[in-house]
Chains A and B, each alone.
Chain A
Amino acid sequence: MLRIRIFPIVIFAVIIIFFPLIARIIPGIGNYPDLMVFAGIYCLITIGLSLLMGYAGQISLGQAAFFGIGAYVSGILTATYGLNPWLCMVFGMIIAALVAVIVGVPSLKLHGHYLAMATLAFGIIVFIIFNEEVEWTGGPDGLIGIPVLSVFGFQFDTLEKYYYLVWFFVFAVFIFTINLIQSRSGRALRAIHASEAASNAMGINVSRFKIMVFVYSAILAALAGSLYAHYLNFINPATFDLFFSIKLLIMIALGGMHEIWGAIIGAFLITFLSFEWLHFFEEFEVIVYGFILLVVTIFLPHGLVGIPHIIKDWLRR
């Protein structure tokens, strides 16, 4: 967690690259690559959120709003106005960053549950705007006709192509974020999380760092939103509601808050649980989901990423 361990990243990259080929051969998991596209999109959001919560110690119950802002800016500007999708994606990230500054500056002075409520309120307000401004967003029935992404005529219009596109972004962001954590800024962040008072005394501009992390998490969420919009070619407000913000929180908590790997593991687990594995239980799906959540929370307070430590401790006995 303090040094970059290259080896796990390389292994992970190899698995990701070859997975679609494997999935075509092994029966029963043929639709897993499809799920992995969404898992990847969610990873982008959770990486940012993990930085915010695990390293800067701030809670956000409104990340779905930034996800939505990226999606709707991309969606509206490409579907209604026909602008270049990549430019729109960047534009979406800029807008998300601006909103993060506007909301973050007053909010990050709040503590604990007050901050949670402020981000929650912000998330709900943005959702209501998506839902009500029917002329721009299409309202609850959603926005259709969002075009596919393309580079020099090469269109990302099949599952496989999009899979590699999304995971390319995930790895890029993952490595960039790890570098960030290793840098001076990262050390400052960890200092802030440990003690704001001490950090202030040492001359770290605590507020500025908190805002920067918040903005970074917003930008990543917006990127994820744009990728989502161009994949489904359709978005509607229900995807960006409070329950999604809570789902993100669960991903972080289950995966493990204090390691970036936790963000990846959490996103994977929740994606597969809620989209696939629990279908078996049909009507009871929701209850099983709640139980799993409870069990992991009770037995694995540091998230799944803490399992290797638990096993190490157990073996030592």
Chain B
Amino acid sequence: MQEFTLTSQLVQYLITGLTIGSIYAMVAIGFNIIYNVTEIINLAQGEFVMLGGLIMVFLHVAAGLPLFLAFFMTVILVVLVGMLLDRLAIRPIRQPSVLTLIIATIAASIIIKGIAMFIWGKDPFDLPAFSGREPIQLMGAVIQPQYFWVGGFLIVVVVLLTLFFEKTIIGKAMSACADNPDAASLVGINVKHMILLSFCLSAAIGAVAGITVTPIALMEYDRGAMLAVKGFGAVVLGGLGSFPGAILGGLIMGTIESFGAGLVHSGYKDAFALIVLLAVLFFKPSGLLGSIEISKIKKF
């Protein structure tokens, strides 16, 4: 076997870190969209990823639908779940306090997970890679084509969302809600619809993450919780509510995990990312790209 140099190893760690980081980034973006409009941290965000993967398996593998169609339908179905989440778990709450809403999303994630366990069982499932499994060589390191799909979709999501928020009327309305819901409703924006839309968008992004990562890492009914925790970490690291912060936070967390596992001690790799997170928070309490004013205005 050819010699596997340190440079190649480092490149490999970077590639893995960026790929896993892209998944965290997508989860983080989903968190942020809902947070911006509602101040809620949706701890069921990870379940959207899980559902995206498992529903795609059902449609594409079990039912045999072609990739494109199955992808599209999966996203739609997960968006429906997101809508149900808003309608049944969030909207009925009369006196929303931050804690109540957090508990409601936790309850929702428990229910979704339970139903997933009932439908799919406890086993992991696989998806065929979108463009095959022939690895690509780069400086002695190896890249799976599926990694490009993950990173690619992250870029697509970011571009589409930016266009949405800046160029379309609905997008601008949502941003208005994020800044000041009272003023927004005075101007005629239906805040409840914006909230629903935010859940739909988050669900869609989560589903995309789940579909693209399953060919790499398989998917099973209880993967959601850990993803939600790491996505939340990425959000806080980058700064709550900051869109570029979510991407940065996700990629940094993934990379630290990867390098920590490879260069230091793999048993503690999750701890490294979290320690860095804590260090950042202690020096810059509103995250890397977050702003202090916003963090103080938002209550609790």
**A touches B in complex, CB < 8 A:** yes
Residues in A lying within 8 Å of B, measured CB to CB: 53, 57, 59, 106-107, 109-114, 116-118, 120-122, 124-125, 128-129, 131-132, 242-243, 246, 249-250, 253, 257, 283-284, 286-287, 289-291, 293-294, 297-298, 301
A112 to B278, CA, bound (A): 15
In the assembled complex, how far is the CB of residue B100 from the closest CB belonging to chain A, in whole angstroms? Answer: 5
Pairwise interchain contact A112-B299, C-beta atoms closer than 8 A: yes
B236 at the interface (CB under 8 A from A): yes
Are A250 and B106 closer than 8 Å at their CB atoms?
yes
In contact, A110 and B104 (Cβ under 8 angstroms): no
Question: Which A residues touch B155, using CB under 8 A?
Answer: none
Q: Check B74 for interface membership: any CB of A closer than 8 A.
A: no
| CB-based contact B278/A290 at 8 Å | no
Give Cα distance in the complex from A69 to B233, angstroms: 23
Identify the B interface with A (CB < 8 A).
35, 41, 88-89, 92-95, 97-100, 102-104, 106-111, 113-115, 117-118, 225, 229, 232-233, 236, 240, 267-268, 270-271, 274-275, 277-278, 281-282, 285-287, 295-296, 298-300
Please provide the 3 A-B residue pairs with the shortest distance between their CB atoms, ordered closest to farther.
A290-B110, A290-B111, A287-B114
* Total A-B pairs, Cβ < 8 A: 128
**Are A128 and B240 interface neighbours, CB within 8 A?**
no
CB-based nearest B residue for A243: B225
> Which residues does chain B contribute within 8 Å of A125, judged by CB atoms?
271, 274-275
Instruction: Please judge, given known A-B contacts A253-B100, A290-B114, whether A112 and B298 are in contact too, CB under 8 Å.
Output: yes
> What distance in Å separates the Cβ of A68 from its nearest Cβ neighbour in chain B?
15
Give chain B residues whose Cβ lies under 8 Å from the Cβ of A293. Answer: 103, 106-107, 110
CB distance from A289 to the nearest CB of B (A): 6
Please determine whether A290 and B274 come into contact, CB atoms closer than 8 angstroms. no
B115 nearest in chain A by CB position: A287
- Contact A57 to B114, CB < 8 A, known contacts A121-B233, A242-B229, A294-B107: no
Q: Which A residues are CB-close (under 8 A) to B35? A: 113
Interface of A: prevailing SS: helix
Q: Are A114 and B103 in contact (CB under 8 A)?
A: no
B88, B109, B285, B299 interface centre (most CB from chain A within 10 Å): B285
Whether A301 contacts B113 in the complex (CB less than 8 A), given A114-B236, A290-B107, comes out as no
- One of B109, B111, B270, B296 near A111 (C-beta < 8 A): B296
B93 touches A298 (CB 8 A): yes
Give, as a whole number of angstroms, the nearest-CB distance from A133 to chain B: 10
Task: For the complex formed, measure the closest distance between the CB of B138 and the CB atoms of chain A, giving whole angstroms.
Answer: 32
| CB-based nearest B residue for A303 | B100
Kindly list chain A residues whose C-beta atoms are within 8 Å of the C-beta of B104: 294, 297-298
CA distance A112 to B282 in the complex (A): 14
Query: By the criterion CB–CB under 8 Å, are B278 and A118 in contact?
Result: yes
Structural contact, A301 and B274, CB atoms closer than 8 A: no
Q: Is the CB of A59 within 8 A of B107?
A: no
Known contacts A111-B295, A298-B104; is-contact A257 B99 (Cβ 8 Å)? yes
Q: Are B278 and A122 in contact (CB under 8 A)?
A: yes
- Asked whether A301 and B93 contact (CB < 8 A) given A246-B106, A250-B103, A253-B100, the answer is yes
Q: Cβ of A297: which chain B residues have Cβ within 8 Å of it?
A: 93, 100, 103-104, 107
| A289 proximity list for chain B (CB < 8 A) | 110
Give the interface centre of B35, B286, B300 by most chain A CB atoms within 10 Å.
B300
Given contact pairs A107-B281, A121-B278, A290-B108, a sample of 20 additional A-B residue pairs in the complex whose CB atoms are under 8 Å apart: A53-B99, A59-B99, A110-B281, A112-B298, A114-B236, A117-B233, A117-B277, A121-B275, A128-B268, A243-B225, A249-B99, A249-B106, A250-B103, A294-B88, A294-B89, A297-B93, A297-B103, A297-B107, A298-B92, A301-B95
Q: Are A128 and B270 in contact (CB under 8 A)?
A: yes
Report whether A287 and B103 are in contact in the complex, using a CB–CB cutoff of 8 Å: no
Kindly state the separation between the CA atoms of A257 and B282 in the bound complex, as whole angstroms. 28
Also in contact, A284 and B103, with CB within 8 A (given A122-B278, A124-B270, A301-B95): no
What CA separation (Å) do A284 and B111 show in the bound complex? 10
